[in-house]
Structure 1
Amino acid sequence: MNSLQQSRNQVIQQIEDACKHARRNVESVQLLAVSKTHPSESLREMYQTGQRAFGENYLQEALDKMESLGDLDIEWHFIGHVQRNKTKHLAEKFAWVHGVDRLIIAERLSNQREANQAPLNICLQVNIDAQDSKDGCQPNEVAELVKRISQLPHLKLRGLMVIPAPNNPQAFSDAKALFENVKTEHAHPEDWDTLSMGMSGDMNEAIAAGSTMVRVGTALFGARDYSKQA
């Protein structure tokens, strides 16, 4: 068994154990492999283990990987901060965008998504615990954003994404409560099914609070080498 297969097996087991402890169905939690700064060869190897969803933070790096891995059926997620001048590539190339925190960004993504493509899956990034260093809209802005964004064509607003400060499990509970509270503002509430939270160090707490998608990098690929960042 190669090292990436072993790493993925361990993460899957951790997810299963966390779901069992929380009395949740393991199929209710998706594993997103965060592959930023890791080479295409590592993604190809991870793909062979059965992993299909990969998350990238840096647009040019992601585009390069898409080109070199075009023969694979990868579901690409963009999980970095969305800049206005980058929305065209995001709208055209990705299946999911997690870092939307303003209406203007959602409008640009909707306008730039081709009509013949499947709707672009969107998560609203929320600064759930008021960190000065974190992007995201404020919790009190979410209901209005959900109401507006869920009416845009070519987008499917799926839920929320949060990155709480370390050792703050209350933020996960707050995100879950917000997720449930604003569902009534969604034009298509049946689409509102994703709470993207939890990483390598805190996925147990996130799953216990109700996460439906954990974003795991280090536990799958090992430490990141930022010297090779695109």
Structure 2
Amino acid sequence: MTSIQQNIEQITSQIEAAQQKCGRSRETVQLLAVSKTKPNEAILEAAQAGQRAFGENYVQEGANKVAHFSEHHPELDLEWHFIGPIQSNKSRHVAENFAWVHTIDRSKIAQRLNDQRPAGSEPIQVLMQVNTSGEQSKSGLNEDEIFELAELISSLPNLTLRGLMSIPANVTDYASQLSAFTQLAELKEKLAQRYPEQKIDTLSMGMSGDMEAAIEAGTTMVRIGTAIFGARDYSNKA
């Protein structure tokens, strides 16, 4: 049985190989370890292997983990990303606990996160979720909505707009994957040109099955869970 450390080393090698293949510099792609449903012990093992950024999908579960590591392992200085859907009645927990939020697709949520961020805290680094596939079942903004929401976020003092995130259609052929990711990368560049005062430098796209295409298209953050931690147990999600 491979260890979490070995899994992280393997994924890191794959990221570096993909960067080299398409002529990108090393360390331009961050590995976000998706730790949803995983116990604190598994996260600690990953952290001890050098992983610092973790992504959570469920508000209460994620808030509990943030509290645990803040209390018991503050020296690790972990960076917590919220990558799941946000309900209005749970936005305060997100605002109070997470450094990054990847899934903003409504002005109401952006405003609530801004208003509920504790005084004295650093601004939340936020990404807008884009629906690149056009599937009605998927959350996310279309191109026109992106710029409308960006206008609001750029005016909110407790949010810093950093870029875009997507969960594309589950397709296996490389060309289709690359096309969807390239579309998002082009949108990010348009956004950066329109808001030069913002630090719009982040694309959160790419998972285990489409990571290479995402890296070729320009992703700066890949979200990897099962390949690091193994199969998930959803019986205790909150």
The residue number in structure 2 matching 1:34 is 34
The residue number in structure 2 matching 1:93 is 97
1:123 to 123, 127, 131: 127
Q: 1:33·1:55 contact (CA, 8 Å) conserved in 2?
A: yes
User: What are the equivalent positions in structure 2 for 1:137-148 lying under 5 Å apart?
Assistant: 137-148=141-152
Q: Residue 187 of structure 1: CA displacement?
A: 6.0
Return closer, same or farther for 1:134/1:59 CA change in 2, 3 Å cut-off.
same
The residue matched to 1:123 in structure 2 has which SS?
strand
The residue number in structure 2 matching 1:201 is 209
Q: 1:34·1:217 contact (CA, 8 Å) conserved in 2?
A: yes
Return closer, same or farther for 1:212/1:31 CA change in 2, 3 Å cut-off.
same
User: What are the equivalent positions in structure 2 for 1:176-191 lying under 5 Å apart?
Assistant: 176-186=185-195, 188-189=197-198, 191=199
Give the TM-score taking structure 1 as reference length.
0.95
Q: Which amino acid aligns with 2:109?
A: I
**Aligned equivalents of 1:186 and 1:108: distance in 2?**
22
Q: Aligned residue pairs: how many?
A: 229
Q: Where does structure 1 differ by over 4 angstroms across 4 or more consecutive aligned residues? A: none
5+ residue gaps in structure 2? none
**Aligned equivalents of 1:227 and 1:111: distance in 2?**
33
**Aligned equivalents of 2:138 and 2:77: distance in 1?**
32
**Aligned equivalents of 2:35 and 2:45: distance in 1?**
12
Q: Residue 214 of structure 1: CA displacement?
A: 0.4
CA displacement, residues 69-114 of structure 1 (integer Å, 9 cap, x when unaligned):
2224210100001111111111111100111001111111111112
Q: Which amino acid aligns with 2:223?
A: R
RMSD: 1.4
The residue number in structure 1 matching 2:60 is 60
CA displacement, residues 191-211 of structure 1 (integer Å, 9 cap, x when unaligned):
100000001111111000000
CA displacement, residues 24-59 of structure 1 (integer Å, 9 cap, x when unaligned):
112111110000011111001110000000000001
Q: 2:117·2:158 contact (CA, 8 Å) conserved in 1?
A: yes
Q: 1:115·1:154 contact (CA, 8 Å) conserved in 2?
A: no
**Aligned equivalents of 2:67 and 2:160: distance in 1?**
25
**Aligned equivalents of 1:148 and 1:188: distance in 2?**
14
**Aligned equivalents of 1:95 and 1:66: distance in 2?**
10
Give the TM-score taking structure 2 as reference length.
0.92
Q: Which amino acid aligns with 1:176?
A: A
The residue number in structure 1 matching 2:219 is 211
1:149 pairs with 2:153: yes
5+ residue gaps in structure 1? none
Identity between Structure 1 and Structure 2 (%):
53
Q: 2:60·2:93 contact (CA, 8 Å) conserved in 1?
A: no
Q: 1:144·1:185 contact (CA, 8 Å) conserved in 2?
A: no
